[in-house]
A and B are shown apart, each in its own frame.
Chain A
Amino acid sequence: MSSQIVTDARSALIELRDVAKIYRKGREEVRALDGIGLAVAEKGMVAIVGPSGSGKSSLLHIIGAMDRPTRGEVIVAGEPLNARPEAGLTSFRRKTVGFVFQSFNLIPNLSALENVMLPMEFDGVAGDERRRRANRLLDRVGLAARLGHRPRELSGGEQQRVAIARALANNPPLILADEPTGNLDSRTGQMIYELLKEIAGERTVLVVTHAEGLAQMADRILHLKDGKLVADDPSQGLKKQPVDRPGTTGSA
């Protein structure tokens, strides 16, 4: 039993085939993801919604190679992740994915600039180039004046903007954000979404959210329930991306 989305996957950035994540504790079994099939196009913003425990975070972690699926195939940017050893997943996370966390996850004793430089450091980018790029990214998220500030000297919204700049550091084709506005007030959240939306013009942004209003800003909304993909809508009021052709929801 698996829900599948029939999509033309040839031009997709992300492709999932019958992906399941099952947590076992003793004899108990939690099917966090249950037969997910999915294709996501290059560029554009995709919102993932669903009730608590429906598997949204699990899905994001598997796509971002933070976690491995129990079953199924995950192909991102043409590369099957299942085949990669741990070191391969590390370089995948470094080059292909940018994570934006609900709690920002900025390193507390590094300045905003240093936090943004980190992923480039891991990628072996030279010092001058690192600094130049980090400056530009922080400028882009409107924090040019706060380069030297430590995370605790920044507001929640500012911290999340630093985190977004950090996610963009190695110019990855994919940004994953798990409830990026969960710790922010609605006005600040709105600003973060606008920023993510802008970023989605040049790459794929996958964002998990509970806020229905924010989800409506996305080009496409994936509905999860009990680990299954139950609906896949282009959001109202926005025109579909050309490569993004969600099909019908059904059983395969």
Chain B
Amino acid sequence: MNMLRFGVRNLFRNVPRLVVAALLIAFPFFLLLVMHAIGGAVERQTDKLKHNVDNALQLRARGSMGHVNMLGNDDILPQRVLNQVQGIEHVARVEPYLLAMTPTEGHNFAMIVGVNPGDTKRLESHGEAGNPKIIAGRDLTEADRGQRVAIIGQGFAKWAGITPGNLGQATLTLDLTRTHPVIFALTRPPATVKIVGIYASGYVFGDMQLFMPLDTFREIYDVPDGLSWLFATADAADHVPQVERQLRTLLGEAVDIVAPTSVAEFQRSATRAVVRLSNGGIVLAAALLVIVVFFVMLLAVRERAWEIGTFKALGASGGGIVTAFLAEAVALCGVGAMLGALLFSLWGGTLAQRVFGVGVAPFLPAQYRDALAGVLSLSSDLDPAAWGLLATVCLLAALAGSAWAARQIVRLSPMEAVRHE
């Protein structure tokens, strides 16, 4: 019967109390895992954005700001650029885009984007990085080429009255004759597209877009050739400068070559805010844990003062008795952590969404405030990092929470053995 085992056994002396204490401890652990999940999801999102951006170069017609309405072909890259870029060494992937704008309310507008199904859905004015997540319906597929179908951002969908519930029948009619202070009217018939999916992009303007197959776009806007953007992805980040040099030699003055950086802005504002908040939440959860452990262990010392006195009267060192109590505290935290992990795997995903909406979103920059939660994959999986965090916090909280109890134990007189008589 060594003191470690004795300590762990003491945990089971009062099972109802163990259950209550474990639940009290499970709650902060649950919170901690939720916070960890939120922080992790945002960091994963950043990584995905970075992944889309790091190796990529954007090509645009010289002088076009990227906001291109299909009026005249001055703002458009010639179609031949596509083949030229494809031929360059170390270019792994080429993604052509066509863009138009359509007025919504007042001075606001939405983007209409033509892409090849399967290509990255890059989001104008953010990241050109793009990692929208389909939240209802489906994504575009190869079979959609040339078909009048589209997927729509959740903000645009809301404006158009499209919900996941009515997605089966939803259509959107584009009136190309409508104007706007910065949008020219087009003399084209209105076009109706069937909406097959709704996506979340993570930020407000990203949700005000519509993606349709490139061929469909050409037909509706009557752009038989030419491109708004061309994204060239190098096979490795190291090759980007080389690819860029070759592009400049090949295409010369006709194009602007831009290395997208908007992901940095996301990283700076959104990621940092969320990571700071989730770390704050983790610290708060750990503090809660310490407080619970503190009271549980203090109660145990109070209750078992005569036992501690007896141990001392029998010749136990203070250190030995403290070891037993620490083992009990660590075991208690361990049980709480397991319970917390169980609760998390059951309800963590759902709660993380809520916590994000209520606790994190208000602290985000405006463009991410209501939109970021939708794009994050907040999972209730426990990755190795989560287990590591659980174990570390478990140990630290048990030790910190028992510090006062340990001090009491060391100071207790063996006379406590007879005081209860």
Question: Which residues of A are at the interface with B, using a C-beta cutoff of 8 A?
Answer: 57, 61, 64, 66-67, 87, 90-95, 97, 99, 101-103, 105, 107-110, 114, 117-119, 121-123, 166, 170, 178
Contacts and interface: CB of A to CB of B under 8 A. Distances in A.
B418 A101 contact: yes
Interface of B: 1-3, 6, 9-10, 12-13, 306-307, 310-318, 320, 413-415, 417-418, 420-421
A119 B317 CA distance: 11
Given A93-B314, A178-B418, 15 more contacts: A66-B313, A66-B413, A67-B415, A90-B317, A92-B315, A99-B313, A101-B417, A101-B418, A102-B421, A105-B307, A108-B13, A117-B1, A118-B1, A122-B314, A122-B317
A118 B10 CA distance: 15
Contacts of B421: 101-103
Given A102-B421, A105-B306, A114 B1 contact: yes
Contacts of A110: 1, 6
Contacts of A99: 313-314, 417
A117 B316 CA distance: 12
Most buried by A among B10, B307, B414: B414
Nearest to A65: B414
B316 A122 contact: yes
A121 B323 CA distance: 14
B314 A118 contact: yes
B53 to A, nearest CB: 61
A123 B417 contact: no
17 contacts: A61-B418, A66-B415, A67-B415, A90-B316, A92-B315, A93-B312, A94-B315, A99-B313, A105-B307, A105-B313, A105-B417, A107-B307, A110-B6, A118-B316, A121-B1, A122-B317, A122-B320
Given A101-B418, A109-B10, A64 B1 contact: no
B2 A90 contact: no
A170 B314 CA distance: 10
B1 A93 contact: no
Question: Which 9 pairs of residues, A with B, have the shortest CB-CB distance?
Answer: A94-B315, A105-B310, A93-B315, A66-B414, A122-B316, A119-B314, A122-B315, A114-B1, A99-B313
A166 B1 contact: no
A25 B1 CA distance: 41
A123 B6 CA distance: 16
B313 A64 contact: yes
Contacts of B2: 121
A170 B9 CA distance: 24
A251 to B, nearest CB: 31
Given A105-B310, A117-B1, A66 B417 contact: yes
Nearest to A67: B415
A107 B318 CA distance: 17
Contacts of B3: 121
B300 to A, nearest CB: 13
A166 B417 CA distance: 15
Nearest to B14: A109
Contacts of A94: 314-316
A24 to B, nearest CB: 16
B12, B310, B417, B420 pick with most chain A CB within 10 angstroms: B310
A218 B187 CA distance: 122
